[in-house]
A and B are shown apart, each in its own frame.
Chain A
C-alpha cells in the first residue's frame, strides 16, 4: 500500500522569506501523480501544484515550486516570498495512475504553516 509521510507537523516563516515543506512517499508503482493541497483556516481545500512521475522537470506555479526526487521518493514544496495568505494546512498527496479509475488519493498527515508578519 502507498504511504505518504510529512515529517513536519508545524512550521513557521517570516513574511517574504522562503520555506520548504517536506514529503516522502512509498510506492512500488512507476506511474503516478503527486500533489500539494492547501487548506486555509475555515476554507476549502484547493490544489496548489501537481507533478507527474514520468516528467523529470519540476513543476512550478508562480511562487510555488517542487523538488521531485523520484529515486529518493521525495516531493518537497518550496514557497518563495511567503505571504500572510499562505498560512494554511498543507497536504501532500499521491495518486496512482491507472486509467479511468485513477481515483484514490492517499494523503499525508499535513503540515501547518504559519506566515508571520
Chain B
C-alpha cells in the first residue's frame, strides 16, 4: 500500500493567494483527518470526515479555510486568501473504523510558507 499521499510536499506562496492542499487516503479507509503543525501550537486538528461527510470542523481557524471530500479517495484543504500566519506543516491522516481504537496513518505533510 502506498500509504497516505499528499501534494504538494512544499508550497511557497504570497499573501493573498489561494492555496490548495491535496490528500489521497489509504484505500478502504473511512475516516480522513486534516491536522496542522506549528512550533507555537503543536499538532492540532482542523477537520475530519467520515465516509466523505465532515463530522467536526471546530478546529478550522476561520472562514478562509475550507475542506472538501468529494469522494472516498480524495480530499482538499483550501486557504483563500492565505496569510503569513498560515505557514505550517499540514498533515492528512486516514483510518479505518474498528471499534474506536483504530490507528490513524499520516501522510508526509505539506510544508506551506506564505510570504
Chains A and B form a bound pair: no
Which A residues are within 8 Å of any B CB, using their own CB?
none
